Copies of this chain bind each other. A is one copy, B any other.
Amino acid sequence: MPNNRFVTKVFPSVSRAERWTRNSHESGVLWLTGLSGAGKSTLAMNVSRILFEQGIHTYVLDGDNLRTGLNADLGFSSSDRTENIRRAAEVAETLADSGAIVFAAFISPMVADRKLASQIIKSNFHEVYVKASLFSCEQRDIKGLYRLARAGTIQNFTGVSALYETPEKASLIIDTDHSTISQSTNDLLHFVKRNFLRPDDADDIHGVVW
C-alpha cells in the first residue's frame, strides 16, 4: 500500500441525506450474487426500468460491463476477482452517494469478497442471492459460456472450474429455478420498495404485467 497520509479528505457540498430528501427515496446498493446465467442482470435491468418509469433514480452496475472498462486490466485469478469486486463496490458506493439505488450484478463467488463489498458500502447494503442450480444455468447457457467452460476453452469458470460459495445470510433470495421472470422481478421490486422508499410512496409503486 502506498503512503497516502498526505491526502486530505474533502467534505461534499451536498450531503447524501439532502439527496435522499430531493429524490424522495434513500439510496444504497442491491448486491446481486449468483452463477452466470442465474438471472442477475435481467432482474437488475427489469427492476431498474420499472423504478425509473416511476420516478426513482436507479442505476445498474454490471460485472461484464465493468470488465470492458474500469476493470479491463483484471482477469479471473483469485486476486483479480477480489480486486474486481473491491473496485465494483467502490463505484457502487459512489453511485449510492450520488443518490442512486444501485443494482450491482456480479457473480462475486466468494463470501470474503462479498463481505468486503458490504464493508465498502456505507449504508443500505443488501445482499440478494439470485439462486439457480448449476444444471439450470448450464441448460440455459444463454451466452454459450458453460459449453466453452466444459470444453476447457474458458478457465476458472464459476460453477465448472471455480468455486461458488453460497450466501448463508442473504437479505433476499430469489430462486429463478422455481419462479418466473415476472415473479422474480416483482419480488425484487417489492424488496426495494420496502427498503428504500417511504411507506406512502412505496404504496404507489406497481409491479409489471408480463
Task: Show the binding face of A for B, using Cβ within 8 Å.
Answer: 1-4, 6-10, 12-14, 18, 22, 41, 45-46, 48-49, 52, 57-62, 64-65, 67-70, 72-76, 80, 87, 90-91, 93-95, 97-100, 120, 143, 145, 148, 154
Query: In the complex, A90 Cα to B94 Cα: how many Å?
Result: 12
Q: A148 contacts which of B6, B18, B41, B57 (Cβ < 8 Å)?
A: B6
Kindly list chain B residues whose C-beta atoms are within 8 Å of the C-beta of A67: 4, 7
Instruction: Using CB atoms, name the residue of chain B closest to A98.
Output: B59
* Cross-chain contact A2 with B75 (CB below 8 angstroms): yes
Which 9 residue pairs of A and B lie closest in terms of their CB atoms, listed nearest first?
A: A2-B75, A13-B49, A13-B45, A70-B90, A59-B98, A14-B52, A7-B67, A7-B64, A10-B62
Kindly list chain B residues whose C-beta atoms are within 8 Å of the C-beta of A3: 75
Query: In the complex, A97 Cα to B98 Cα: how many Å?
Result: 12
Protomer copies: 2
* Cross-chain contact B94 with A61 (CB below 8 angstroms): yes
* Cross-chain contact A12 with B45 (CB below 8 angstroms): yes
* Cross-chain contact B7 with A68 (CB below 8 angstroms): yes
Query: In the complex, A148 Cα to B41 Cα: how many Å?
Result: 48
Given A14-B52, A58-B14, A64 and B9 contact (CB-CB distance below 8 Å): yes
Q: A6 contacts which of B98, B99, B100, B145 (Cβ < 8 Å)?
A: B145
Kindly list chain B residues whose C-beta atoms are within 8 Å of the C-beta of A69: 90, 93-94, 120
Interface pairs (21), CB distance under 8 Å: A2-B75, A4-B67, A4-B72, A6-B145, A6-B154, A7-B64, A7-B68, A8-B64, A8-B143, A9-B64, A9-B68, A10-B41, A13-B52, A22-B52, A59-B97, A69-B94, A69-B120, A70-B90, A87-B87, A91-B94, A98-B100
* Cross-chain contact A60 with B9 (CB below 8 angstroms): no
Given A8-B64, A72-B4, A73-B2, A14 and B87 contact (CB-CB distance below 8 Å): no
